[in-house]
A and B are shown apart, each in its own frame.
Chain A
Amino acid sequence: MRRIVCPERDDWRQTAAQCGFAFHTIDGERYWDERAYYAFSLDEIERGIEAPTGEIDAMCLELAARVIGDERHLRRLQIPEAFWDLIRASWQRDDRSLYGRLDLSFDGHGPAKLLEYNADTPTSIFEAAVFQWTWLEQAIERRIIPARADQFNSIHERLIVAWKEIAAGRHLHLTGTTGDEEDAGTLAYLEDTARQAGLTTTLLDIAEIGWRDEAGGFVDLDNSDIALAFKLYPWEWMFRDAFGAKLAGAPTRWIEPPWKAVLSNKGILPLLWEMFPNHPNLLPAFFEDDPRAAELGSSYVRKPLLSREGANVTLVSGGMPLDEQAGPYGAEGFVRQALAPLPNFSGFYPVIGSWLVNHEPCGLSIREDESPITGNGSRFLPHAIL
Chain B
Amino acid sequence: MANKPANKEFGKRRPAPVPPTPGKPVKRSGHVALLVMGTIAVGTTAYTLMPRQHCEPAPGAVPGQTSTTCSGGSSSSGSGGSSRWSSRSSFFSSDSSSHSSSGNSSESGSGSVSRGGFGSFGHGFSGGS
| Interface positions of A (Cβ within 8 A of B) | 17-20, 22, 26-27, 45, 50, 54, 57-58, 61-62, 64-66, 68-69, 71, 81, 84-85, 88, 91-92, 94, 96, 118, 120-124, 129-130, 133-134, 150-158, 160-161, 175-189, 191-192, 195-214, 219, 221-223, 231-234, 237-238, 240-244, 246, 264, 308-309, 311, 325-328, 358-360, 362, 376-377
Contacts and interface: CB of A to CB of B under 8 A. Distances in A.
B52 A210 contact: no
B96 A221 contact: no
Contacts, number: 325
B28 A200 contact: no
Contacts of A156: 29, 32
B117 A58 contact: no
Nearest to B34: A192
A204 B54 CA distance: 9
A92 B115 contact: no
A57 B114 contact: no
Interface string B96-129: 1011011111001011111111111111011111
B42 to A, nearest CB: 6
Contact of B120 (A20, A155, A210, A242): A242
A177 B24 contact: no
Contacts of A71: 2, 4
A123 B126 contact: yes
Contacts of A17: 42-43
B29 A309 contact: no
A178 B19 CA distance: 33
Contacts of A213: 112-114
Contact of A65 (B12, B21, B112, B117): B12
Contacts of A359: 15-16, 18
Interface residues of B, number: 95
Contacts of A161: 18-19, 21
A130 B98 CA distance: 34
B107 to A, nearest CB: 10
Interface of B: 1-5, 7, 9-16, 18-19, 21, 24-30, 32-38, 41-44, 46-47, 50-57, 61, 63-64, 68, 73-75, 77, 79-85, 87-89, 91-92, 94-96, 98-99, 101-105, 108, 110-123, 125-129
Contacts of A221: 52, 73, 75, 77
B127 A129 contact: no
Given A22-B47, A243-B105, 14 more contacts: A45-B27, A71-B4, A96-B16, A157-B24, A160-B63, A200-B56, A201-B54, A207-B79, A207-B119, A208-B115, A223-B113, A233-B118, A325-B92, A377-B89
Nearest to B15: A359
A309 B127 CA distance: 10
A180 B88 contact: yes
B15 to A, nearest CB: 4
A210 B94 contact: no
Contacts of B64: 196
Contact of A129 (B1, B32, B80): B32
A196 B87 CA distance: 30
Contacts of A211: 105, 113-115, 117
A120 B50 CA distance: 22
B32 A181 contact: no
B85 A133 contact: no
Given A179-B84, A181-B87, A204-B52, A157 B29 contact: yes
A358 B104 CA distance: 36
Contacts of A154: 24-29
A205 B121 contact: no
Contacts of A64: 13
A206 B34 CA distance: 24
B47 A69 contact: no
A69 B28 contact: no
B119 A177 contact: yes
Nearest to B112: A213
B28 A180 contact: no
A205 B79 contact: yes
Which 6 interchain pairs have the tightest Cβ spacing? A123-B128, A243-B117, A207-B119, A20-B41, A179-B85, A359-B15
A189 to B, nearest CB: 6
A175 B122 CA distance: 13
Contact of A234 (B10, B55, B91, B122): B122
A203 B51 contact: yes
Given A188-B50, A211-B113, A213-B112, A130 B32 contact: yes
A54 B101 CA distance: 37
Given A157-B24, A233-B122, A200 B91 contact: no
